[in-house]
C-alpha cells in the first residue's frame, strides 16, 4: 500500500472534490491510499481503521464461513464507501476486501473522526444515499439470479472482475457467486470464446469484444 504525499496527494484531493462530502474541514487529515491488484484493503479478522471512499479501481468482498469455506459476496466500485458499517455501529463486520485492480481511495481515520462525521449532516446525507443504493443493488442481485440467463450474468461478472482486459477468476468461485454448475459455466465460457467475445490463454481469458459483453451486462441494469 502506498500513501500519496505532497503534489500527488493534493491532485487526488482536488479531483475528488472533497467539499462535496463534508461540512467540516477534513482535508488536512485526509489520506490518499493506493492498493495494488491482489492487495488486501481490509484483511478478514482485522478491524478497519479507516473509512474509505473509492476514487479509482475495483475491489472484491470475501467472507470465511465457520467450515473454513471462503465466498465472494460482492464487489466494490468507484464512488463507494468501505468501512461505513463500522463507522455507524462501532462493531466489526468480519470480511476481507481485496483490490481486484489498482485501487485508489481517500481514507479517514475512524477512531479520530467518528464523532465529527456522525454529526455532519452533509456527510450523513451522502452516506444515506449510498446505503440506499447499496441495499437496492443487493436485492437486484438476488432477482437477477432468477430472471436472467447465465450469459448476461457472466458478462457482467467478467466486466466487474477483469483487470486491463484480463479475466482470471477461479471457476469454483464464479459458480458459487452466480449459482450455476461448473459444467454450465465452462459451456458458456467456451461459447464466449467461439463467438469471439474472449480468447483463452492458459488459465486467463482476454476480452476481445468489450462492446458485446457490455450489451449483455446492460440487461441486468435495465439500461
Domains of the chain: 2-143 (2.60.120.10), 148-221 (1.10.10.10)
User: How far, in Å, CA of 25 to CA of 32, rounded?
Assistant: 16
Classify 124 as helix, strand or coil: helix
What is the model's pLDDT at position 68? 74
Asked if 44 contacts 78 with a C-beta cutoff of 8 angstroms, the reply is no
What is the model's pLDDT at position 161? 92
Q: Whole-model pTM?
A: 0.84
- The conformation of residue 27, written as its DSSP 8-state character, comes to G
Asked if 222 contacts 143 with a C-beta cutoff of 8 angstroms, the reply is no
Asked if 84 contacts 133 with a C-beta cutoff of 8 angstroms, the reply is no
**Which residues make Cβ contacts (< 8 Å) with residue 114, sequence separation at least 6?**
87, 90
User: How far, in Å, CA of 107 to CA of 110, rounded?
Assistant: 9
Give pLDDT tens digits for 8-28: 999 998 888 888 888 877 788
| Average pLDDT of the segment spanning 32-45 | 93
Rg, C-alpha atoms of the chain: 19
Residue with cell 464507501: 81
Tell me which of 93-97, 107-111, 131-135, 153-157 is least confident: 93-97
User: How far, in Å, CA of 49 to CA of 105, rounded?
Assistant: 14
Between 162 and 222, whose confidence is greater? 162
What is the model's pLDDT at position 220? 77
Give the largest Cα separation in the chain, rounded: 56
| Average pLDDT of the segment spanning 128-140 | 84
Task: Tell me which residue of 223, 92, 72, 83 sits closest to 157, measured CA to CA.
Answer: 72
pLDDT of residue 200 exceeding 80, the answer is: yes
Give pLDDT tens digits for 106-131: 999 988 899 999 999 999 999 999 99
Residue with cell 491488484: 37
Amino acid at each position: 500500500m502506498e500513501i500519496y504525499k505532497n503534489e500527488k496527494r493534493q491532485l487526488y484531493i482536488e479531483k475528488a472534490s472533497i467539499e462535496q462530502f463534508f461540512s467540516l474541514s477534513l482535508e488536512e487529515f485526509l489520506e490518499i491510499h493506493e492498493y495494488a491488484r491482489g492487495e488486501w484493503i481490509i484483511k478478514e479478522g482485522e478491524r478497519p481503521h479507516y473509512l474509505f471512499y473509492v476514487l479509482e479501481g475495483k475491489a472484491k468482498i470475501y467472507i470465511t464461513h465457520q467450515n473454513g469455506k471462503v465466498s465472494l459476496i460482492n464487489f466494490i466500485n468507484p464512488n463507494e464507501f468501505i468501512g461505513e458499517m463500522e463507522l455507524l455501529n462501532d462493531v466489526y463486520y468480519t470480511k476481507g476486501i481485496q483490490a481486484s485492480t489498482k485501487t485508489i481511495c481517500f481514507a479517514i481515520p475512524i477512531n479520530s473522526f467518528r464523532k465529527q462525521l456522525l454529526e455532519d449532516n452533509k456527510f450523513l446525507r451522502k452516506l444515506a444515499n449510498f446505503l440506499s443504493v447499496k441495499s437496492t443493488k443487493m436485492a437486484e442481485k438476488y432477482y437477477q439470479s432468477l430472471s436472467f440467463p447465465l450469459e448476461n450474468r457472466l458478462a457482467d461478472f467478467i466486466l466487474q472482475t477483469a483487470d486491463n482486459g484480463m479475466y482470471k477468476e477461479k471457476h469454483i468461485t464464479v459458480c458459487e457467486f452466480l449459482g450455476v454448475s461448473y459444467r454450465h459455466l465452462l459451456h458458456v465460457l467456451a461459447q464466449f470464446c467461439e463467438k469471439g467475445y474472449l480468447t483463452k490463454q492458459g488459465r486467463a481469458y482476454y476480452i476481445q469484444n468489450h462492446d458485446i459483453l457490455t450489451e449483455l451486462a446492460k440487461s441486468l441494469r435495465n439500461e
